[in-house]
Structure 1
């Protein structure tokens, strides 16, 4: 739900406004109202500001990547497909590349690396048995 809402807000923002330095995707009041509408809990002002900051950062990442995609395609207009692809890349809907995966693996402790190794061996064994 958060991803859909973020994409919707981002699409509205990109289509309706020019990106100004230090601009924000939404107001604190809009965030607070959104939370009130979608939850039966109250929300603290710190939580509102934190979410708004995160939403601004995510939106900026998507806009920046979308702009790169448009420029790679020699366009001066961000299209829906640019925003969709950028959002998918940012939210990692596509599988990681082996290189990206290795960067994550390098961060594991020796214990977690051993566990990962065991799980990969078990998964490989299952795949081989299914092929028979």
Structure 2
């Protein structure tokens, strides 16, 4: 069960949101270091949410305005994308989406031996800048 604050909000998503904002802030600072005279604003950040993380995008959107206060991201938008889980079969190498439809086994050789290759993370995909 996810830890919640006194208002019933999930703290799990807040920690991910703070991490994504910090990563985006570092990206912006690197751009400014390359070109100090650059005049831009952050239009949006794009975050991919892995299917296996248990992170609920609605809560990321709820926490975003608070997380960006006082940063270069203030006034920007958050866009989230679902990142499906993918598994690579350890027996035949096939990559597939595990699910009820294939009994969570490899659709090619029916093996249940697999390695998760995607879907366990929350990732900062993109920081979209807009010239002023």
- The alignment's TM-score, normalised by the length of structure 1, stands at 0.29
- TM-score between both structures, scaled by the size of structure 2: 0.29
Larger Rg over CA atoms: 1
* Bigger share in helix: 1
The one of the two structures with greater contact order (alpha-carbon pairs below 8 A, sep at least 6) is 2
